[in-house]
């Protein structure tokens, strides 16, 4: 009987003992949540269809953010921090604030030059923090 409440810890496999327990708990919880959701759906009879994205969501800004972020990481590896940041800050600003008015583009340009330069100077030079 006491063996039931005993766990043998083998040195070579001990690294997987706890992850297996956690995965077991997660599986049980996932099934519980699944059943709850199924019940809820049945009760509501899917009267209002839930969508993953919000209604009328901004496709360009959402996927643009993801694409620019990935591009920004690669650009930092290839061109170093300051040039990559100036270019990508400009792109992020154009994406979020638009490029239809001249004034907006000028503001974007100022922000994209001033902020990375300031960050580069304060963090990289004054505080000596490692930058890409």
Partner 1 sequence: MFEFGMLHLAVALLGVVIGIIFGAIPGMTATMALAIFLPLTYAYDLHVSLYLLLGLYVGGISGGLIPAILINIPGTPSSITTTFDGYPMAQRGEGERALRIGITSSLLGGLFSLAVLWLFTPPLARMAIKFSAVEKFLIIVFAMTVIAALSKGNMSRGIFAGFLGVLTALVGTFNDNNMIRLVPEFLRVELIYGFSLLPVLIGLFAISQVFEEAEACMLSNRVTGSLLGNKVRKFSFKDFKGNFINIIRSSAIGTFMGILPGVGGSAASILAYAQTKNFSKKPEELGKGATEGLISSESANNGLTGGALVPLLSLGIPGDSTTAILIGAFMLQGIQVGPLFITQNPGIWNTILLALLICNFLMFFAMFFPIKLISKLITVPNCRLYPIIILMCVVGAYAINSGVMFDVWTLLLFGLVGYLFGKIKLPIPPYLIGFILGGDLEKYFIDSLKGAGGSLGVFFSRPIGNVIWVLIAISIIYALYDNRKSAKTA
**Which string of x and - marks every residue 65-84 that binds partner 1 (by CB under 8 A)?**
xx--xx-xx--xx-------
**Which string of x and - marks every residue 21-60 that binds partner 1 (by CB under 8 A)?**
-xx-xx--xx-xx--x---------------xxx--xx--
What minimum distance in Å lies between the beta carbon of 65 and partner 1? 4
Distance (Å) of CA 119 to CA 32, 69, 70, 71: 48, 18, 20, 20
What minimum distance in Å lies between the beta carbon of 67 and partner 1? 11
> For partner 1, which is the closer residue by CB, 79 or 97?
97
Size of the site for partner 1 (CB under 8 A): 59
Per residue, what are the HEC states of 39-108?
HHHHHHCCCCCCCCCCCCCCHHHHHHHHHHHHHHHHHHHHHCHHHHHHHHHHHHHHHHHCCCCHHHHHHH
Give the whole-angstrom CA distance, residue 120 versus residue 124: 5
Q: Is 19 in the site for partner 1 (CB under 8 A)?
A: yes
Q: Residue 130 in 3-state DSSP?
A: coil
Reported residue count of the chain is 132
- Residues interacting with partner 1, by CB under 8 A? 2, 5-9, 11-12, 14-19, 22-23, 25-26, 29-30, 32-33, 36, 52-54, 57-58, 61-62, 64-66, 69-70, 72-73, 76-77, 85, 89, 92-93, 96-97, 107, 111-112, 115-116, 119, 123, 126-132
């Amino acid at each position: 009987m006491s063996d039931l409440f005993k766990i043998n810890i083998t040195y070579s496999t001990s690294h997987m003992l706890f992850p297996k327990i956690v995965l077991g708990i997660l599986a049980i919880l996932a099934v519980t949540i699944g059943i709850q959701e199924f019940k809820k759906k049945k009760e509501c009879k899917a009267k209002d269809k839930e969508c993953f994205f919000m209604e009328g969501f901004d496709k360009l800004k959402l996927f643009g953010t993801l694409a620019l972020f990935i591009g920004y990481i690669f650009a930092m590896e290839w061109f170093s921090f300051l040039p990559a940041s100036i270019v990508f800050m400009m792109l992020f600003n154009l994406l979020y604030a638009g490029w239809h008015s001249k004034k907006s583009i000028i503001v974007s340009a100022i922000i994209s030059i001033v902020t990375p330069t300031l960050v580069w100077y304060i963090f990289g030079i004054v505080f000596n923090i490692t930058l890409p």
